[in-house]
């Protein structure tokens, strides 16, 4: 029932995206903190040292501002949209496949960048990014970004990285002599259709796909057909990072699209895990801290957005998640990230990543495309065997 609610909410806001969002007025001046701030966030995004004492960017903020931080972890973008639609939260770390839906649904408000002194330190590639900027109006502060990597078990692949995503899309015998059937995973979210589309861009160029988030009916059908093949291989569709980690450690899973977060945690435990950018390229996420339209604690929320852009927080968070900071200054002098961390995590690969976007009916590459509400309902069908 909870999943159905999330999907229905995604559908509702997807339909709303067809209209034009009218921006409300952003906050004009900061006042005293209200004593608390609540954040909907991806796992690992808001750390207070409970998992590892070295990673804590909450405790000092609470001491300095008297704003107590509470976090609601969300496993998918659709869940984030649903939670923000329900209300009661101040901020959300939204990926590009959720951010514009939140704007269209009037669930988030414009921000006044003059109230965020560190705004000027943000990577210029992100300051006006289309997933948080509408008609020149900013609806959030960039947080972290990175790729959806192919994570694999080095023992199953005998130490050599798989070169293609075909190991999760097509039945085959892996280097360890065993079939991949039942040993791979796929992401439990409609945006995974874009991964199939990107794979087809390389392997079926006759389809004419130019953008994995802009698909006409024929291209979309081909992506769904590929995902139906993948369903026969998938042991589990994942959306919880910690469950995916357990599956790789204990349930025989050897390959899946994943986040650097899971890779880093398992490598820290000396697990036989590595990741790679396959030859077809990767999708990815650029996440934005967005302010709820009816935020009950806007002053503390603005204080958090400023805090989240400090070079120390950006570097620590990027090191913990295996992501790239939105503030380039964080790439140097951070003991946890190290001076090589930004390069390792993909700082120079920005233009090679197809960042998550909300599919819409009107699209640049071919005029009319399959909208997101179709992606939602049809992906549920694929997972259900239809």
CA distance linking residue 325 with residue 318, whole number of Å: 6
Give every CB contact of residue 317 below 8 A, 6+ residues apart in sequence: 45, 47, 57, 143, 144, 308, 323, 325
User: pLDDT of the chain along its 386 residues, tens only?
Assistant: 334 334 444 444 444 443 444 567 888 999 999 999 999 999 899 999 998 999 999 999 999 999 999 999 998 899 999 999 999 999 999 999 999 999 999 999 999 999 999 999 999 999 999 999 999 999 999 999 999 999 999 999 998 999 999 999 999 999 999 999 999 999 999 999 999 999 999 999 999 999 999 999 999 999 999 999 999 999 999 999 999 999 999 999 999 999 988 998 899 899 999 999 999 999 999 999 999 999 999 999 999 999 999 999 999 999 999 899 999 999 999 999 999 999 988 899 898 899 999 999 998 888 899 999 999 999 999 999 88
Other C-beta atoms closer than 10 Å to the C-beta of 103 total 28
Q: Token pair 């923000």 is at which residue?
A: 84
Q: What is the pLDDT of residue 3?
A: 42
Identify the bridge partners of residue 353 per DSSP, sorted by sequence position: 282
Q: What is the pLDDT of residue 367?
A: 86
- Say if CB 380 and CB 18 are below 8 A apart: no
Any idea what DSSP says for residue 181?
T
| Of 165, 139, 138, nearest in space to 151 by CA | 165
339 burial via Cβ count (<10 Å: 0-12, 13-18, 19+)? exposed
Q: What is the pLDDT of residue 353?
A: 94
The torsion angle over the Cα atoms of residues 371, 373, 376 and 378, rounded to 10 degrees, is: -70
| Of 310, 55, 78, 87, nearest in space to 192 by CA | 78
Q: What is the pLDDT of residue 23?
A: 60
Angle at 125 between CA 92 and CA 80, to 5 degrees: 15
Angle at 78 between CA 124 and CA 383, to 5 degrees: 120
Domains and CATH numbers, the chain: 2-146+285-353 (3.40.190.10), 147-283+359-383 (3.40.190.10)
E-state strands within the chain? 36-41, 68-73, 91-94, 133-134, 137-138, 141-147, 149-153, 184-187, 234-238, 255-258, 273-276, 282-291, 324-325, 353-355, 362-363, 367-368
Angle at 362 between CA 376 and CA 372, to 5 degrees: 5
| Of 138, 100, 142, nearest in space to 121 by CA | 142
- Say if CB 368 and CB 215 are below 8 A apart: no
Instruction: Region of 66 please: left (phi>0), alpha (psi -120 to 50) or beta.
Output: left
Q: Is 66 helix (H, G, I), strand (E, B) or coil?
A: coil
């Amino acid at each position: 029932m909870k999943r159905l609610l999330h999907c229905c909410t995604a559908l509702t806001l997807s339909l709303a995206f067809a209209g034009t969002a009218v921006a409300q007025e952003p906050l004009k001046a900061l006042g005293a903190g209200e004593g608390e701030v609540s954040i909907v966030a991806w796992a690992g995004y808001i750390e207070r040292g409970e998992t590892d004492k070295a990673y804590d960017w909450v405790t000092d903020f609470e001491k300095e501002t008297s704003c107590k931080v509470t976090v609601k972890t969300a496993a998918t973008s659709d869940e984030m949209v649903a939670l923000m639609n329900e209300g009661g939260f101040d901020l959300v770390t939204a990926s590009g496949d959720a951010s514009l839906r939140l704007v269209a649904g009037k669930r988030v408000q414009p921000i006044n960048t003059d109230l965020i002194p560190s705004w000027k330190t943000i990577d210029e590639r992100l300051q006006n990014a289309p997933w948080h900027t509408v008609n020149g109006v900013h609806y959030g502060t960039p947080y972290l970004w990175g790729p959806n990597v192919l994570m694999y078990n080095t023992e199953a692949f005998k130490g050599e990285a798989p070169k293609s995503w075909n190991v999760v899309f097509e039945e085959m015998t892996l280097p360890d002599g065993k079939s991949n059937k039942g040993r791979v995973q796929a992401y439990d979210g409609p945006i995974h259709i874009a991964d199939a589309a990107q794979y087809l861009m390389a392997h079926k160029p006759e389809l004419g796909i130019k953008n994995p988030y802009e698909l006409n009916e024929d291209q979309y059908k081909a992506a769904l057909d590929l995902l139906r093949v993948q369903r026969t291989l998938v042991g589990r569709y994942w959306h919880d990072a910690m469950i995916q980690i357990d599956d790789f450690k204990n349930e025989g899973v050897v390959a899946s699209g994943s986040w650097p977060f899971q890779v880093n945690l398992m490598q820290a435990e000396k697990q036989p895990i590595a990741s790679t950018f396959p030859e077809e390229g990767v999708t990815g996420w650029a996440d934005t801290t967005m302010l709820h339209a009816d935020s009950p604690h806007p002053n503390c929320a603005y204080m958090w957005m400023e805090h989240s852009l400090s070079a120390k927080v950006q570097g620590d968070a990027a090191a913990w998640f295996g992501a790239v900071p939105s503030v380039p200054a964080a790439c140097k002098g951070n003991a946890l990230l190290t001076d090589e961390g930004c390069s390792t995590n993909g700082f120079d690969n920005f233009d090679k990543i197809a960042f998550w976007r909300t599919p819409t009916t009107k699209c640049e590459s071919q005029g009319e495309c399959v909208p997101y509400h179709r992606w939602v309902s049809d992906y549920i069908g694929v997972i259900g065997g239809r």
